[in-house]
A and B are shown apart, each in its own frame.
Chain A
Amino acid sequence: KQEVTQIPAALSVPEGENLVLNCSFTDSAIYNLQWFRQDPGKGLTSLLLIQSSQREQTSGRLNASLDKSSGRSTLYIAASQPGDSATYLCAALPLYSSNTGKLIFGQGTTLQVKP
Chain B
Amino acid sequence: NAGVTQTPKFQVLKTGQSMTLQCAQDMNHEYMSWYRQDPGMGLRLIHYSVGAGITDQGEVPNGYNVSRSTTEDFPLRLLSAAPSQTSVYFCASSYSRQANSPLHFGNGTRLTVT
Contact = CB atoms under 8 A, between A and B. Distances in A.
B94 A101 contact: yes
Nearest to B4: A43
Interface string B73-114: 000000000000000001010100111111111111000000
A99 B58 CA distance: 11
B58 A102 contact: yes
Nearest to A47: B102
Contacts of A51: 99-100
B107 A98 contact: no
A24 to B, nearest CB: 15
Interface string A97-108: 011111101111
A100 B100 contact: no
Interface residues of A, number: 26
Contacts, number: 65
Nearest to A45: B105
Given A100-B45, A102-B48, A107-B42, A46 B104 contact: yes
Nearest to A95: B99
Interface of B: 4, 6, 31, 33, 40, 42-43, 45, 48, 50, 56, 58-59, 90, 92, 94, 97-108
20 contacts: A34-B103, A42-B108, A43-B6, A43-B108, A46-B103, A46-B105, A49-B102, A89-B43, A91-B103, A100-B56, A100-B58, A101-B31, A101-B48, A102-B45, A102-B58, A102-B59, A103-B43, A103-B45, A103-B103, A106-B42
Given A34-B102, A34-B103, A43-B108, 16 more contacts: A31-B99, A32-B100, A41-B108, A42-B107, A43-B90, A44-B90, A45-B105, A46-B105, A51-B100, A100-B45, A100-B48, A100-B56, A101-B33, A102-B33, A102-B58, A108-B42
